[in-house]
Chain A
Amino acid sequence: MLGSTDVSDDLHRLAAPYALDAIDDSAERLSFENHLKSCVICAEAVAQFRETAASVAMGAAVSPPVSLRASVLDSLGSTPQVPAEPRQVIDLTRPRPKLTASRLVLVAMAASVVLIIGVFGILTPRTAPTGLDEIALADDARISETTSDGTTLKIVWSPSMAQAAVTGSQLPILDEGQTYQLWLIADEATRPAGIFTSPDGDLALVVATDGGMAQAWGITIEPAGGSTSPTSDVLYTGTF
């Protein structure tokens, strides 16, 4: 018993060196990576150490030669991307992650999927889509467009995916402590959907909705965090 505890303790202590890529011995690294798949504590620790390391690296930031930008961007077209499958969920509606084990579990529960332990380099296939284009390709995608005050707002909503893609530009800039909120309207009942912001008034993002039906939608400005029912006049509205 003691023996196995010691081994485990020893592995736990590799989280920090691992996060800094400071394990050279490939056998040791593999054994730690194996351990990571089943140890939420270490997975969490590695993620946090990496966030910290990245913050430290911000202090060493140096602008690269100007020519690098064009040289990178010009090569994108000839650099194929990995397929999105097996995909990891990229839920745009989530806040910037503060990683905690409980949060990971919550996220998985919210998506009604089983959390497959094995983060960080291990692909965890989960349900739910995310790309703007994926929503547009959904069988039940509904498209609605509206123009108001020179701003054209487009919504593509897939009830089965429980997500809506929202695009538009030149929206009114939000004040501090405000958010946009999407509402779905069915049978004259309004129910809240996702909230979102846009620092520059341009939008191209995915907002969470429920999977129910709706004939219309609206967008309002709400206090940060969103509301359960609208508290301001509708900015944009349309029908599906």
Chain B
Amino acid sequence: MNEPTLRTRTEQTGQTTTFRRRTRRPVRTTSTLTDDSVIDLTLAGTGDEAAFGRIYDQFSSLVYGIVLRVLRDPAMSEEVAQEIFLELWRLAPRFDSANGSPKSWIATMAHRRAVDRVRSEQSRRQRDDRDAQLQPTEGVDVHEMVADQLDRVRVQKCLAELSSVQRESVTLAYFGGFTYREVASILDVAEGTIKTRIRDGLTKLREKLDDTE
């Protein structure tokens, strides 16, 4: 858009303005509003359904992807994803960007719900199959498009940088929905070791993800 009113800023010493150039007192420092999802989620917290629609559009594949990986059942995943979104809507007034990004808030809630469901279901049909857990979702009827191929490639690359024991521990705990005790039992190592591997794995992942940003 090239509005005539929009002047390109010149130098710091720039153009004169209709304002006097003096500041009388120190003012509260403010900072840039950078993240649309923060705005949308905040608006959703005031009952704005259109804003929540935008949150849905931005994060539905994140939520569904998490649930599908943990539950491995598309029908159940759709039902749980619906519950999660309504829960996100219900709790949106409590979202606080000081505590984390919308992405993190949403993923945390989605993951917890999925894990609660899988643990309460006790339907561990495939869950004892360690190999199945270590693979990307396969055998599940996923016709749906992968939402963001770039994210997928980037994350796969970062995961590949972990040692295999770190990768297995993180993947089993997060995508498998197993507790660290279960992971210890599956991999046949001490519980303390698993706690350390998960921590080290996540720490390394964070560094790698930061590097590729």
Note all chain A residues with C-beta closer than 8 A to B39.
92, 204-205
Is A76's beta carbon under 8 Å from chain B?
yes
Is A139's beta carbon under 8 Å from chain B?
no
Give residues in A with beta carbon < 8 Å to B. 13-17, 19-25, 47-65, 68-69, 71-73, 75-77, 79-84, 87-97, 99, 104, 107, 110, 119-120, 123, 130-133, 148-149, 162, 170, 172-173, 175, 178-179, 183, 185, 188-197, 199, 201, 204-205, 207-210, 212, 218, 220-226, 228-235, 237
The A interface is mostly helix, strand or loop, or mixed, namely: loop
Note all chain A residues with C-beta closer than 8 A to B92.
81
Q: How far is the CB of B189 from chain A (nearest CB, A)?
A: 14
Note all chain A residues with C-beta closer than 8 A to B173.
17, 20, 22
A-B contact count, CB below 8 Å? 361
- Chain B contacts with A in 78-107, Cβ cutoff 8 A: 78, 81-82, 85-86, 89-101, 103-104, 106-107
Taking a contact as CB atoms closer than 8 A, the residue among B8, B32, B206 that contacts A196 in the complex is B32
Q: Give the 8 A-B residue pairs with the shortest CB-CB distance, closest first.
A: A59-B155, A54-B107, A88-B96, A64-B64, A16-B199, A24-B179, A172-B6, A194-B30
Indicate whether A191 sits within 8 Å of B23 (C-beta atoms), given known contacts A58-B62, A97-B97, A204-B39. Answer: yes
Taking a contact as CB atoms closer than 8 A, the residue among A13, A60, A149, A232 that contacts B9 in the complex is A232
Contact check, B19 vs A234: say whether CB atoms are below 8 A apart: yes
Contact check, B45 vs A232: say whether CB atoms are below 8 A apart: no
User: 23 A-B pairs, CB-CB below 8 angstroms?
Assistant: A16-B198, A17-B180, A17-B194, A50-B107, A52-B202, A58-B148, A59-B159, A61-B62, A61-B146, A61-B147, A88-B96, A88-B99, A94-B31, A95-B31, A97-B101, A201-B1, A210-B27, A218-B18, A221-B9, A229-B19, A230-B21, A231-B9, A233-B18
